[in-house]
C-alpha cells in the first residue's frame, strides 16, 4: 500500500521514499527505517530491467551525413531515460579502437 509519504512495510511500520543505486542507475525505492527492508518502485525496477537489457544488446544506428557533419541517432529509450534535450552539451571521447563514449549531464 503506497501513500504520498511512504508505503507500509511488512513489519507494520512505514517505509519512506529514497533512492538506491543499482549498477550506477538511480532507482526510486522505499526504505523502512525500523527494519531496514527496501522495496524498489515497480515502474522504476521495470525500467532498470529494460536498461540492463539495452546494455547487453546495443541498438544499431547508421551513420548519417548532415552537411559536413557525421550524425548518429540516439534511440528514444535512451533519450527518455537520460532526459536529453535539444541543444544539450555532450562530451564525446574515444573509448577504444572501436568505441565512442558520449557523456550527457556529466
Ligand atoms: Zn519494516
Give me the average pLDDT of each 10-residue run along the chain (106 residues). Answer: 73 94 88 94 87 82 95 88 90 94 86
- CA nearest neighbour of 24 among 102, 79, 82: 82
Q: Are residues 17 and 43 in the same domain?
A: yes
Residues around the ion ligand 1 (C-beta < 5 A):
9, 11, 13, 32, 34-35, 37
Strand positions, DSSP E, 9-98: 14-22, 25-32, 38-40, 63-66, 69-72, 90-96
Query: pTM score > 0.75 for this model?
Result: no
Q: Are residues 35 and 76 in the same domain?
A: no
CA of 106 to the centre of ligand 1 (A): 35
Which residue range(s) make up the domain with 88?
A: 63-104
Amino acid at each position: 500500500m503506497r501513500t504520498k509519504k511512504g508505503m507500509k512495510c511488512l513489519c507494520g511500520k512505514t517505509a519512506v521514499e529514497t533512492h538506491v543505486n543499482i549498477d550506477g542507475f538511480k532507482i526510486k525505492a522505499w526504505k523502512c527505517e525500523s527494519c531496514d527492508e527496501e522495496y524498489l518502485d515497480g515502474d522504476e525496477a521495470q525500467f532498470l530491467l529494460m536498461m540492463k537489457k539495452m546494455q547487453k544488446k546495443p541498438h544499431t544506428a547508421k551513420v548519417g551525413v548532415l552537411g559536413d557533419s557525421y550524425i548518429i541517432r540516439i534511440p528514444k529509450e535512451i533519450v527518455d531515460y537520460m532526459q536529453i534535450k535539444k541543444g544539450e552539451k555532450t562530451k564525446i571521447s574515444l573509448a577504444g579502437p572501436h568505441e565512442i563514449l558520449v557523456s550527457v549531464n556529466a
